[in-house]
Chains A and B, each alone.
Chain A
């Protein structure tokens, strides 16, 4: 019986192709919108998380100033000194290592080729606080670090552009006129949301301060936090140490800020999830509107096919069979619409992912859910018209023009 009803429904749907297509258009758009939005939302969240994760987890960035958007007027707060770095490293429990950073830009020359890049002055702690392994060579020796020798570890972009991907360790570069030995090469970190992270040269901070920035200032500390400790607690301790060192009394605001990558990651995820939810809710409404569209056309269809219903009843169809036929038609229609919608959704994701700079993803869960919802919509919105069809009086139906 069910098989027969199904084939009847399919036959009736394909007998009226245009009407069927228009009926399901709402469902197609609704399902496509929901699935595409959720998938793109997830892809965006994933991309954002990856970018933040590339900064290293359990890493705090400590900078002078009040942080984003809170600049305000007044004198620029002082940069950190070497002693501040040591104090944070020694006095705060749960801190694994603290890497000071002093940055400058410079032109690098190797065998007549030159390249403009970022010079990052730091210590070996830099390689402790974040996972950024070397592919060849070594990190700084103690002596190099303390004396601020002219040695450097180069990022992958430098190696590609100046050494054509060949071995660079042992070679000598000129950085803003300073001769510098390459002692190591870094593995690639790729294109994050923060520009090309491989376009960098890492040198001992003392060398950078002496030859490039011309001061002993430290603009950034990277603090590696022991995962066993509570990050908030560690941040609070760092705050206390720095406030004391910078002589900030009781009621005054900090003149430095601590940027927690894990926290940013969570915030970003929260924002993208919220946005996804809002857009999905709007898309879901369109799905319901699609269901109402189905009901609308099914009601018209019942009126239009009154005579057909009369014939079926006269021939001996019982009410439940007529009900099933129309219900089945609605369900098959909305399921077909759902399937087409899923295909459209994948195409939309495939088309938009590169534009949004995210990966193409297939999310099985939302696809299954959206399909089931479209089936349920068929049942819910098909029931009323189907019941109307089943309750028709055969004589009146047959006489209907």
Chain B
């Protein structure tokens, strides 16, 4: 547990701060308030599981945290930067540099080798071909799929695909890894493998992991569990480490 302790830096300002964030979908009569007023701090290096009933606003929150969407009101500070004030392209650049995504449906490019999938973010970063190869290979090695580099998604199992997706998410050394139900399409054995991988990445690389899950077994791997209900943070639960101060 020492490694875990060391990876959190409680004295640093939180990497993510949500202040009174709300999100309204639609307009007029059909408007729907998915988030009411969310306040949430996430410390750098934390491993957070987001839980809550369906429709409680978990994905909405993740999209905002992932800079894919903007709050309707309130503030979202990422590394002290007001994301709600950034335009589309600025948010894209923020994602490129600091964020990695893992999706429930893996979302790999079809008919494209594992290596090429992992290389994709490096391509947008402008890395040269050789550098790209080497970095992508190293990332594949981290998820234990070095030997499978030339397989296309169709030739990989679900668990393997999700590991390729994780390799793609971490290949740029992001600060934060966002995963919306990463084990939602996997059996429990594969799910545990993925959780172990995320835990390892969190501990060894110090990457902040934010994960939505419905399964308590998976949430058990996290250090902090944030419970959502009706578009609000219901409670925050710190695990394993008694007495740790979380927002």
Chain A interface residues (CB < 8 Å from chain B): 1, 4, 8, 15, 307-308, 310-321, 394-395, 398
B-side interface size class: 20 to 34
Contact A315 B126 (CB under 8 A): no
Q: A395-B63, A398-B103 are in contact. Are A317 and B109 (CB under 8 A)?
A: no
Contact status B92-A313, CB under 8 Å: yes
Instruction: Rank and list the top 6 A-B pairs by shortest CB-CB distance, nearest first.
Output: A316-B96, A316-B95, A318-B89, A318-B92, A315-B121, A394-B68
Contact B95 A1 (CB under 8 A): no
A321 to B93, CA, bound (A): 12
Nearest-neighbour CB distance to chain A for B32, whole angstroms, equals: 15
- Interface of B with A (CB < 8 Å)? 63, 66, 68-69, 88-89, 92-97, 99, 101, 103, 107-109, 111-112, 120-121, 123-126, 168
Collect the chain B residues with CB atoms within 8 Å of residue A320's CB.
Answer: 89
Instruction: Select the residue from A308, A310, A316, A321 with max chain B CB neighbours within 10 A.
Output: A316
Q: Do A316 and B66 have beta carbons less than 8 Å apart? A: no
The A/B interface has a contact count, at CB < 8 Å, of 57
- Chain B contact residues: helix, strand, loop or mixed: helix
Residue of B nearest to A391 (CB): B88
What residues of A have a CB within 8 angstroms of the CB of B92 in the complex? 313, 316-319
In the complex formed, the residue of A with least CB distance to B117 is A311
CB distance from A33 to the nearest CB of B (A): 33
* Cross-chain pairs A/B with CB under 8 angstroms, 25 sampled: A4-B126, A8-B123, A307-B107, A310-B107, A311-B107, A312-B120, A312-B124, A313-B92, A314-B66, A314-B68, A314-B107, A315-B95, A315-B124, A316-B93, A316-B96, A316-B124, A317-B92, A317-B96, A318-B88, A318-B89, A319-B88, A320-B89, A395-B63, A398-B103, A398-B107
- A45 CB to closest chain B CB (Å) equals 50
Give bound CA distance, A317 to B69, whole Å.
Answer: 15
Instruction: Report which residue of B92, B93, B111, B168 has the largest number of chain A beta carbons within 10 angstroms of its beta carbon.
Output: B92
Q: Please name all residues of chain A whose beta carbon is closer than 8 Å to the beta carbon of B120 when the two chains form the complex.
A: 311-312, 315
**Bound complex: CA A395 to CA B34 (Å):** 15
A395 and B96 contact, Cβ closer than 8 Å, known pairs A317-B124, A319-B88: no
Known contacts A313-B92, A316-B97, A321-B124; 12 further A-B pairs (Cβ under 8 A): A1-B126, A4-B123, A308-B109, A312-B124, A314-B101, A316-B121, A316-B125, A317-B96, A317-B124, A318-B89, A319-B88, A398-B103
Residue of B with least CB distance to A16: B111
Chain A residues contacting B109 (CB-CB under 8 Å) are: 308, 311
